[in-house]
Chains A and B, each alone.
Chain A
Amino acid sequence: MDWMKIGYALLLGAMIVLLLPKAKAMLQASRSATAADWRSIVLPLLLVVGFIMLLIASVS
Chain B
Amino acid sequence: MDYNNAAVARPVDATLAVNKLIRNTYTMLAMTLLFSALMAGVSMAVNPPPMTSLLTLGGAMLLIWLVLPRTANSTAGLAVVFAITGLLGFGLGPTLNAYLSLPNGGQIVATALGGTGIIFLGLSGYALATRRDFSFMGGFLFVGMLVALAAILANIFLQIPALSLAISAAVIMIMSGFILYDTGRMVNGGENNYLLMTVSLYLSIFNIFIHLLNLLSAFARDD
Which chain A residues have a beta carbon within 8 Å of chain B's beta carbons?
A: 1, 4-5, 7-9, 11-16, 18-20, 22-23, 26-33, 37, 40-41, 44-45, 47-49, 51-52, 55-56, 58-60
Given A59-B104, A60-B220, residue A44 in contact with residue B153 (CB < 8 A): no
Is A16's CB under 8 angstroms from B149's CB? yes
Is B61's CB under 8 angstroms from A15's CB? yes
Interface of B is mostly: helix
Measured between beta carbons, the chain A residues less than 8 angstroms from B111 are: 55, 58-59
B140 interface hit (Cβ, 8 Å): yes
Apart from A44-B180, A52-B115: 12 A-B pairs, beta carbons within 8 A: A8-B156, A9-B153, A11-B54, A23-B145, A27-B139, A30-B138, A40-B132, A41-B134, A41-B137, A44-B123, A49-B173, A59-B219
Measured between beta carbons, the chain B residues less than 8 angstroms from A29 are: 138-139
Q: Which listed residue, B58, B132, B143, B172, touches A48 by the CB 8 Å rule?
A: B172
Return A16 CB to nearest CB of chain B, in Å.
5
State how many residues of chain B have any CB contact under 8 Å with chain A: 50
Measured between beta carbons, the chain B residues less than 8 angstroms from A26 are: 138-139, 141-142
Return A44 CB to nearest CB of chain B, in Å.
5
User: Taking CB as reference atom, which chain B residue is nearest A57?
Assistant: B219
B146 interface hit (Cβ, 8 Å): yes
Is B152's CB under 8 angstroms from A12's CB? yes
Measured between beta carbons, the chain B residues less than 8 angstroms from A1 are: 50-51
Given A16-B150, A59-B216, residue A48 in contact with residue B176 (CB < 8 A): yes
Is A27's CB under 8 angstroms from B115's CB? no
For B51, B142, B152, B172, which residue has the most chain A Cβ atoms within 10 angstroms?
Answer: B142
Is B215's CB under 8 angstroms from A56's CB? yes
> 27 A-B pairs, CB-CB below 8 angstroms?
A7-B51, A9-B157, A12-B152, A15-B149, A16-B153, A19-B145, A19-B146, A23-B139, A26-B141, A30-B136, A41-B137, A41-B177, A41-B180, A44-B126, A45-B173, A48-B172, A51-B115, A51-B118, A51-B122, A52-B172, A52-B212, A52-B215, A55-B111, A55-B112, A59-B111, A59-B220, A60-B221
